[in-house]
Structure 1
Amino acid sequence: MKYYFPVPTTFILAAILFLCSCKGERKLPIYGLRDTKTVKNSDGTTSVDTVYQTIPAFKLLNQDSTYITNDNFKGKVYIADFFFTSCTSICPIMHRNMKKIFEDFKDNPDLMFLSHTIDFKYDTPAVLKKYAQKLGVDGPKWQFAYGAKDTVYTLATKSYLVSVEQDNNDKQGYVHQGYLVLIDKHKRIRGAYDGTNPEQVAQLEKDIPVLLAEEKN
């Protein structure tokens, strides 16, 4: 299987802005596209607000053949990734590292996990169920999601900013990036970490408490 890990330009620009403006208590940057809107204040004046890219509404089947939506993650910080169960290259490493994070935060009700399969042909909910059981994380805290190709691939590339594609020239049929994407309670991207890189996974473990603390304020 081929894979690659180019850092999205959006992430780099947001990180630069964050480093330039960071003062006092550490907060994670907000990644993705952004826009501005003019709002009218209660005193009649106007001000300009920044509107950040967010994860749109979705409806996918989980490993229990039950539909899950944004509402399942309402008020939660969560880590999202894209994989397929028959992957023998980066996916086992990604989920081994993600499992460690899961174990470290399993008692924290404010953190969840969401893994989307990109194998729309084979990875049915029943297959995802067996995979979750084998991984030892079959429960509501870690959801495994199945959906139509267009739905999942659009979510990956347009919303989570993770490259995924079907590749008939690849022996396993798919090419994807191994990012673990950190999402806040407002559905905004707050970090993207190479799930196969121990240093980046360790940084994710450090950033999770920072985001959880920020969300409590």
Structure 2
Amino acid sequence: MHKGFKFQYLIISTLFIVSFSACTIPQEGQITTKSGKLPILGRPEIVTSKVNGELKVDTIAHQVADFSFLNQDSVWINNDSLAGKIYVADFFFTSCPTICPLMKKQMLRVYDAFSENDHVKILSHTIDPAHDSVAVLREFSEALGVESSKWHFLTGDKDEIYQLGEKSYMVTAGADKDAPGGYIHSGAFLLVDTERHIRGVYDGTMKEQVDQLIIDIRKLLDEEYGNNK
């Protein structure tokens, strides 16, 4: 397991988790829902206000921040273009000598499982945008044999990519001169719903974890779309 993934997975596993039906302040750990829905992961914001002289406490679930990056077809991908979609996100770079090839092999399984379902997208963010230009990402995606309308390989401002990874997805993503290839990143696959909530974190280097991701995507499809998926 990549050295960044194990540490980050332990951190994200102990963060506050909020259910859709939560109406009280969550405690540290996991709150399961009566409906059996996937939990919402992240750092919820606790907001207090006074209503008719009484203190009211609201929990605002963690959301992925706004972003806008170019994909391999020079198309801007952002929150608006993903409206009404669920997606799986990860971080990589095309010259990665360690876990990236294994991650892409496992992500191909996700791609194949949902290739005919337009509600499911995949976002792979390069952490080496200086090298991974639109042209490089297009060549990379073509070598994998995937459709750009389904699987977006994204590049953009380096600092924006790193901040999105570390603040929104809460995974390691950045330059590290001591790491193989000069960059360090998590091996996590992150499942995100239509409201930009993180609903699951999976080790993208492990077949068993990706098996669970595929199961959870189907569960989330049922939750979000029901018979209309």
Partner secondary structure for residue 202 of structure 2: strand
Match of 2:3 in 1: 3
- What corresponds to 1:146 in structure 2? 155
Residue 48 of structure 1: how far off its partner (Å): 4.0
Kept in 1: contact 2:87–2:122 (CA 8 A) = yes
Amino acid in structure 2 at the alignment position of 1:3: K
TM-score by length of 1: 0.89
**Within the alignment, does 1:36 sit opposite 2:36 as a pair?**
no
CA contact 2:16–2:43 (8 Å) conserved in 1: no
Q: Which amino acid aligns with 1:204?
A: L
Q: Secondary structure at the match of 1:181?
A: strand
Contact 1:80 1:114 in 2 (8 A): yes
Q: Which of residues 17, 36, 48 in structure 1 aligns to 2:30? A: 17
Q: What is the DSSP-based 3-state SS (H/G/I as helix, E as strand, rest coil) of the residue aligned with 1:28?
A: coil
Q: Give matches, 1:1-217, under 5 Å.
A: 3-4=3-4, 5-6=6-7, 7-14=9-16, 16-18=29-31, 21-23=32-34, 25-37=35-47, 48-216=57-225
User: Could you tell me whether the CA contact under 8 Å between 1:114 and 1:144 is conserved in 2?
Assistant: yes
Aligned residue-pair number: 212
User: What is the RMSD computed on CA atoms of the aligned residues?
Assistant: 2.3
The letter of the residue matching 2:45 is D
Partners of 2:102 and 2:12 lie apart in 1 by 26
TM-score computed with the length of structure 2 as normaliser:
0.84
Unaligned runs of 5+ in 2: 18-28
Once structures 1 and 2 are overlaid, which stretch shifts more, 146-155 or 133-142?
A: 133-142
Distance in 1 (CA, whole Å) between partners of 2:184 and 2:190 is 17
Alpha-carbon separation, structure 2, partners of 1:171 and 1:200: 24
Equivalent pair of 2:97/2:180 in contact (CA under 8 Å): no
Q: Deviations over 1:169-212 (max 9, x none)?
A: 23411111110000000001111101001111111111111111
